[in-house]
Amino acid sequence: MVLFAPFKGITYNLKRFKDIPTLLTPPYDVITEEEQDYYYRIHPYNVIRLILGKERIGDTDWDNKYTRAADLFKKWQETGILVRAKNPCIYLTCITYEIKGKIKHRWGIIGLVKIEDSDSKMILPHERTFSAHKEDRLRLMKACSAQLSQIFGLYSDPENKIIEIVKEEVDISSPLIDFEFRDKTRHKMWIIENEPSLFGELFELFKEKRIMIADGHHRYETSRNFRDMMRIRYGRNPNRSYEFVMMYLVNMEDEGLTVLPSHRLLKKAKEFELNKFLTEAKKFFEITKSDLLDEREIAKKLLNLGKSNNAFAFFSHGSPDIYFLSLKESAKNEIGNDIHPALKKLDVLVLSRLIFQKILGFSKEDLDNTNIFHYTTDIGKAIEQVKNGEYQMVFLLNPTKIEDIKEVTLNSLIMPRKSTYFYPKILTGLVFNKVDPDEIIQLPQF
């Protein structure tokens, strides 16, 4: 079962800081070097110094970006930059954003969830992870003894009961935090403290749920690895703080949930020649050529094609045309019989098996090589980067359907890397969770 609990979160001192967005960042793994510099400049207490510190010439095992983050985290608590709640809390959030001309609101709650073992059927990943990211996050967690950002989890609640009962406990018109971030998303947060009846009801409701990890797979596995280390040192008490991880939880049926596509940009494919590629691709796909390069029209046509079939668009450097590819019925067996039917539905899997491996000749190891493959959600930017020669080609995809994600996850399957991009990302810096090995998490009673 899923065990959900409130916790004594650490936040920036709201009595001291009014310009909250200058303190926050997106998740560490989407921040570029230029953005890292920007966040360093805008505020001396920006969370970038904790989650993505700068490396220095002469760094040692005793003085490096991880130890500096730990020193700052401790100092900021001691000097009142950061403050910890006196009682266990949950945190209600609402993100308002515009997409395709429509205003959406995504509601979520932040709390602790008991960490499950890798064979758990209750907390489910949906994408592959990579060891380098996990090693980096583990070093940071060990240094700071804290979880500095939330795992993004999804649960199914068709009646939206969980969010509705939480909203009843707050004045929706008066959030504690209300600001617009630099990407034009609006963020609100309410803190609910010391409400044992509500906490107990949530505890019972979540016991019957499964949680799918939408974003933060590396951090979740890191939290499990950290837990295992702490068990060796401090024992296996089931309710010690290191047995739990901080999660941001969203209803899978929430109308504010948006999944964007992750388009594939390629630096270079060996011996690529456009006409030869198209000839090979015609074995598997119906191909139509267009001089259409307006991103909205491309997205519209791709979406229509994708309603009934696996489809994507292709554009290469030096070509005036874009090509739309739709999978032939006769080619579906070419994907292979070694994978589950739920995976065969995914455009990213079809692209990987038939285009990247069979036609372009990439190995499975190549597909994980970030020197070859890059990802973006922006069609216009991708096309421009191919036009100017920064990349050799791009494959444009439709968003992965939430029902396909659910089917893959509930069958305990793993999607290819970067199959989904849940938008907007959760901002880092709203709430932190201190992991004190001597602290016991009190599970609510209903």
Task: Look at residues 241, 237, 325, 239 and name the one whose alpha carbon lies nearest to residue 286.
Answer: 325
Q: Does residue 200 or residue 127 have the better pLDDT?
A: 200
Three-state DSSP class for 409? helix
The residues near 148 (Cβ < 8 Å, ≥ 6 apart) are 47, 50, 51, 73, 140, 428, 432
Residue 287 has a pLDDT of: 96
Task: State how far the alpha carbon of 199 is from the alpha carbons of 17, 109, 158, 206, 445, in Å.
Answer: 29, 12, 20, 11, 8
Contact 26, 149 (CB under 8 A): no
Residue 124 has a pLDDT of: 86
Q: Is the pLDDT of residue 131 over 70?
A: no
Range 110-131 average pLDDT: 84
Does the reported pTM lie above 0.75?
Answer: yes
- Torsions phi, psi for 10 (to 5 deg): -105, 130
Residue 232 has a pLDDT of: 96
Domain spans of the chain? Answer: 4-258+424-434, 262-398
Proportion of the chain above pLDDT 90, given as a percent: 79
Q: Is the pLDDT of residue 414 over 90?
A: no
Indicate the average pLDDT of the chain: 93
Cα 425 to Cα 153: distance, rounded to the nearest angstrom: 12
375 strand-pairing partners: 264
pLDDT tens digit string along 374-391?
999 999 999 999 999 999
Q: Is the pLDDT of residue 446 over 70?
A: no
Range 42-65 average pLDDT: 95
pLDDT tens digit string along 286-303?
999 998 778 889 999 999
pLDDT tens digit string along 300-343?
999 999 998 999 999 999 999 999 999 999 898 888 888 898 88
Residue 130 has a pLDDT of: 63
pLDDT tens digit string along 229-276?
999 999 988 899 999 999 999 999 999 999 999 999 999 998 899 999
Cα 426 to Cα 442: distance, rounded to the nearest angstrom: 26
Burial class (CB in 10 A: 0-12, 13-18, 19+), 186: middle
Residue 334 has a pLDDT of: 86
3-state helix, strand, coil in the chain (%, to 5): 35, 25, 40
Cα 335 to Cα 255: distance, rounded to the nearest angstrom: 33
Range 157-184 average pLDDT: 96
